[in-house]
Amino acid sequence: MGAKDITYFSLALLGLLILPLMYLNVRFKININKRILYAVARMTIQLTLVGLYLQYIFKWNHIAINILYIVLMMLIASLSIIKSVKLPYKKMLLPIFVAIFIPTMTVLIYFNYVVVRATFLFDATYLITIGGMILGNVLNGIIVGMNSFYNGIVSQEKVYLYRLALGASKSQAKAPYFREAVYATINPTIASIATIGLIALPGMMTGQILGGSDPLVAIKYQIAIMLAIFIVKYLTIVLALWFCSNTMFDGYGRLQIHRKA
């Protein structure tokens, strides 16, 4: 079973529908056509490559390759978080990577062992697909959370220092910004958990149904993945803020890391 294949020609026909939009952009003087073309081209190349090597990864389904692949995804996720929040790579790469690695790996293994009951714990079918979905969501959440934490302390530096001056420990002074960061990270997930299915059919569910799965199986996977995303996001932002505390602040409690312009 599986979805009916679509030809590259029909895919290109869908792409043609972008052209009227580009015409409208010219009419409305919205200067975005270059970016649209660049983004579509990049997507096409990236996904073609992913499709090609995923074919082999699923065929080989070797424990070392699967784990290496997921670790590589985490590394790229860490790098894009650091780039996006504009933190120095040297100091922040390790703490961010470890903060992603621990919860993602734990939840993935738990997911495959307890929920899916996969016979092969590191089966590419589950490890890489579920891992990819989790990481994609975690990436956004951590960027939002780290930005909130950093901006909170920078914009309220006086309040923050005043609390230190009044006798707060470093973690007490950071606590309100820590809470805000965790909240900013998980709040969108809670909102989407609450409204899922009402407003839009989630991608994973659609994919599974197209792939021939029973919708009832698809919703179970959807619920499982939403919970997994939520748990990993929560744990990752907490760990990321803990691990970064030592590198981000000096012994006086001052923010030590300054963002690159």
Partner 1 sequence: MITFENVAIDFDNKSVIQGFDLVINKGDKVLFKAPSGKGKSSLLKAVLGFVTLSEGTILIDQIPVTEKTACDLRSKVAYVSQDVDLMPQVARDFIQEVYDYKYNKHLELDNDRLIELMTYYELELSLLDKNIKDFSGGERQRLGLVIAFLLNREILLLDEVTSGLDAHLKSKVFDYVSQSTITAIIISHDEIWINELIKVVNW
Least distance between partner 1 and beta carbon 255 (Å) = 11
Spatial distance between the Cα atoms of 186 and 255, rounded to a whole number of angstroms: 24
The yes or no reply on residue 260 touching partner 1 (CB under 8 A) is no
Short-list 156, 145, 151, CA closest to 237: 145
- Residues that bind partner 1 (rule: CB under 8 A) add up to a total of 20
Q: Applying CB under 8 A, which of residues 18, 159, 210, 217 lies at the interface with partner 1?
A: 159
Please list every residue from 168 through 187 that binds partner 1, using CB under 8 A.
Answer: 168-170, 172, 176
The stretch among 26-34, 92-100, 138-146, 249-257 that binds partner 1 (CB under 8 A) is 249-257
Shortest distance in whole angstroms from residue 86 CB to partner 1: 20
For residue 234, what is the enclosing H or E element? helix 215-248
Cα–Cα distance for residue pair 174/161, rounded to 1 Å: 10
For partner 1, what does the binding mask look like between residues 33 and 72, x meaning CB under 8 A? Answer: ----------------------------------------
* Crossing angle of helices 33-60 and 124-155, rounded to 10°: 140
CA atoms within 13 A on the CB side of 229: 28
In whole angstroms, the minimum distance from the beta carbon of 249 to partner 1 comes to 10
Residues 106-135 that bind partner 1 (CB under 8 A): none
Residue 93: HSE in the Cβ half-sphere, 13 Å Cα cutoff:
6
As a whole number of angstroms, the distance between CA 53 and CA 47 comes to 10
Q: Check residue 164 for interaction with partner 1 (CB under 8 A).
A: yes
Instruction: Tell me the C-alpha distance between 234 and 187, whole Å.
Output: 10
CB 233 within 8 A of CB 186: yes
Give residue 212's identity as a one-letter amino acid code: G
Looking only at Cα atoms, what is the longest distance across the chain?
Answer: 68
Question: Is the CB of 26 or the CB of 159 nearer to partner 1?
Answer: 159
Question: Which of positions 69-98 make contact with partner 1 (CB under 8 A)?
Answer: none
> Does residue 167 interact with partner 1 by CB under 8 A?
yes
**Interface pattern 137-156 for partner 1 (x via CB under 8 A):** -------------------x
Give me the residues that bind partner 1 (CB under 8 A), please.
Answer: 156, 158-159, 161-170, 172, 176, 250-254
